[in-house]
A and B are shown apart, each in its own frame.
Chain A
Amino acid sequence: MNRDNLIVVFQFFLLLFLQSFLLNNINFFGYINPNLYILFIIIYRLDGNSTILILLGFVLGLLLDLLTQGSGGHTIATLTIAFLRPFIVKFSFGVNYDLPMGMIKGSPFSQRLVYMLIIILIHHLVLYSVIYFSFTNTLTIIKNTIFSSLFTFVFVYISLGLFKDKND
C-alpha cells in the first residue's frame, strides 16, 4: 500500500514537471500541445479512493496552472475529469468492473480506448471552454479540442505502452 502511494506521488510529480517544462513547449503546428499529465487520472487505480483522486486532480491542475502561468483552465478541467472518472469507468467497462490493478491489464482494447478517449475529450473540451470562455469562439474551442485530443491520445497511448513494457 505504501509502495502504491509512493508510486502515485512519483507519477504525480513526474507528470507535472514533464508537462510544465517539456510538453508545454512543443507547440505542434504552432498551438497544439499534448496534455500528457491527465495520464495520472487515467492510470489511477480503478478501485482507488475517488475522493482523494478529486483532491489530487485539483492540486495537479492548480500546480500546473501556477507553473505555466495558466489562467485556471487546467485546474477546472482536471478537477472535472477526476470527479467524472467513476461515471466514465462505469460507462466504458460496464457496471461490474473488477479491475483492481488499474485499466492496463486484462480489459478489452476497445473498452480501454473508449475510456481514454472520453477522458481526454472531456478534459480538453472543459480546458478550452474555460480558456476561451465565450460563445463566439465555439469553433476555435472545438478545433483545439479535437486536435489536442488526438495529439494527447497519441502521447498517452505511447506512454501506456512504455509503462506496460516496464511492468511486464
Chain B
Amino acid sequence: MRQLINALLRYRNTILYTGLFIVSIIFLNHRSFYHQSIFSKISLAISSNLNQFGRNTSNYIRLASTNEKLFIENAKLKVFELIHFDEKSIEKNVIETFKFQVFGARIIKNSYNRARNYLIIDKGNQDGIEVEMGVITSDGIMGIVNQVTANFSSVISILHLDLKINAGFKKNGAYGSLSWQGNHPKKMKLNDVSTLNSVEVGDTIVTGGMSDYFPRGIPIGKVIDFKKPELEGYYDIDIELFSNFTQKEFVYVLKNKKKEQLNRLKNEPR
C-alpha cells in the first residue's frame, strides 16, 4: 500500500496530466461540433474494428459446426443440381444449325402401339403452330407436325413406318437415316451409314444437321448392335432410344424461322 502511494506520488504529474488531458478532451468534445464528429468517427472506427475482431474470433470458433451445416446444405443442393442438370444438359448440347422458335405444348393423345403412330397436342395455328414443324421432348425427338387446326395439332410420331429422319453420330458426324421398324417403341434402325466410318456399341446418335425440322445435336439414342453386310457399303445399326414415348406428357414444338428460304432453294428448277 505504501509502495503504491509512493508510486502514485512519484508519477503524480503524469497521472494528473493524463487525467486533465482526458478532461480537456471531453471539454473539447462538448465545445466543438467538428471535434465531436471526428471523435465519434474515431470511436465508431474503433468499435467497429473491435466488433469485427470479436465476430471473426467467434466465427473461427464456430467454424467446425458451420462447416458441418454447410456440408449438409451442400448435399441437399447437390441433389437438386443433379435433377436440374439432367433436364438441362440436353438443351445445352444442342448446336443451333438454324434459328428456331420454341412453343411448349401438352400431349393430349399419344399412340405407340400401331404401325403408324400419331399424337395430338393442345396447340394449334392460333398459337403459331404450322405444318412441318419439328416436335421434341426433353430428352429426344418426338415427330413432325402434319395437320393443324385452330387449337390442336396432329403430329407424326417418329414411331411411324414411313417416316425417315436424318440422324448421325455425335462423335464424328457420320449420318444416315433413322427409321422405325414397327415392333418396339424404344428400338429404331439407322440405315445408310457408310462403312467407311467406324461404329461401336454405345455410340450416341443425335439429330443430323440436314433436317429442316430439327437442329443438329439433339440426342436420340445409342447404338446397341450393328451389322456390317459384306456386299453393301452401309451399316445396319440398331438404336435404342433415350426417351420413352409411352410416358411423355409435354413436348416442345420447334419453328424453323428460315424455313421459307430453304424451301425456295429446294424448289428451284434445276
Contact = CB atoms under 8 A, between A and B. Distances in A.
Interface of A: 50-51, 54-55, 58, 61-62, 65, 70-73, 75-76, 79-80, 83, 86, 130, 133-134
A51 B31 contact: no
Given A54-B17, A58-B23, A130-B35, 19 more contacts: A50-B13, A51-B12, A51-B13, A51-B16, A54-B13, A62-B27, A65-B31, A71-B32, A71-B35, A72-B24, A72-B25, A72-B27, A72-B32, A72-B35, A75-B28, A79-B21, A79-B24, A80-B21, A83-B17
Nearest to A72: B28
Nearest to A134: B38
Interface of B: 12-14, 16-17, 20-21, 23-25, 27-28, 31-32, 34-35, 38
Main secondary structure of the interface of A (DSSP, over half): helix
Contacts of A75: 24, 27-28
A55 B16 CA distance: 8
Contacts of A134: 38
Contacts of B38: 133-134
A77 to B, nearest CB: 9
Given A71-B28, A72-B28, A133 B16 contact: no
A70 B34 CA distance: 12
A70 B28 CA distance: 9
Nearest to B14: A83
Contacts of B24: 58, 61-62, 72, 75-76, 79
Contacts of B16: 51, 54-55
A76 B12 contact: no
A104 to B, nearest CB: 24
A61 B31 CA distance: 14
30 contacts: A51-B16, A54-B13, A55-B16, A58-B20, A58-B23, A58-B24, A62-B24, A65-B27, A70-B31, A71-B31, A71-B34, A71-B35, A72-B24, A72-B27, A72-B28, A72-B31, A75-B24, A75-B27, A75-B28, A76-B24, A76-B25, A79-B17, A79-B20, A80-B21, A83-B13, A83-B14, A86-B13, A130-B28, A130-B35, A133-B34
A76 B13 contact: no
A86 to B, nearest CB: 8
Q: Which 6 A-B pairs give the minimum distances between C-beta atoms?
A: A72-B28, A71-B32, A83-B17, A75-B24, A58-B20, A76-B24
A20 to B, nearest CB: 16
